[in-house]
Amino acid sequence: MIMERKSEIRKLIDYFHCIIFDMDGVIINSEPIKYLAYQKTFLKHYGVFLSPDDVSWRGKPEKDVIKYWVEKLNIKDDADVASLTYYKRMIYRSLLQSGRVNLVPGVKEFLGSLNYEGKQLGLATTSNRADQQAIFKLFDLGKYFNAVTTLDDITYPKPDPEIYFKTAYSLGTRPANCIVFEDSPSGVMAARTAGMQVICVLTSYKEFNFQNCSFLINSFEEL
């Protein structure tokens, strides 16, 4: 059954000429250090701990994540979301430079093989452009991608499909001609609403969170 599923995924990849990747949880295993950055932010400003078992924030833009924790922790005073976001970004970039983040296994080899096959590759991330560029520089990823769309390029974040529409158009194609690698339910919803096929990467959520996803992988080493 597993071999059959992998064979179907490979056929799907071979069929599509344009392939779009989310970044966090798909290209890099950044969710653990993102959690740590949020934890350090809320510990410094409010003296509270964030539950490591709660993964509902994953796949959301920073401001939405901060609002999520503020509401969940019932923080009474008026939270300065902009200041908290700025502090979180400083912590996150410090953690990035410290070497505490790794690529998802097999992703760089997979990107190289897709380039060799002549595929057009796009990135669609709700991380801000500065973080995206820092990660691309850290891992020398820019050479693989033909188009990049970040949080700074859109009005409505995932699960809205705007980011996938923009990335498809940047690749010079229609959304229906693209396949997407995603790791979060909100990202899957965004891609599907845009009319794209989706392969779910099980780095940030468990398989039961993607009950309607027929194509799943644990890492790119499987491909």
Distances (CA, A) of 77 to 70, 132, 192: 9, 32, 38
Distances (CA, A) of 88 to 190, 210, 213: 25, 29, 32
pLDDT digits (tens, 9 = 90+) for 99-154: 888 999 999 999 999 999 999 999 999 999 999 999 999 999 999 999 999 999 99
CA torsion 189-129-146-188 (nearest 10°) is -10
- 157, two tokens: 């974040």
CATH classification number, 2-29+102-222, choose in 2.40.50.100, 1.10.3720.10, 3.30.565.10, 3.40.50.1000? 3.40.50.1000
pLDDT at 39: 93
Rg (CA), the chain: 17
Q: Is the pLDDT of residue 177 over 80?
A: yes
pLDDT at 2: 45
DSSP state of 104: P
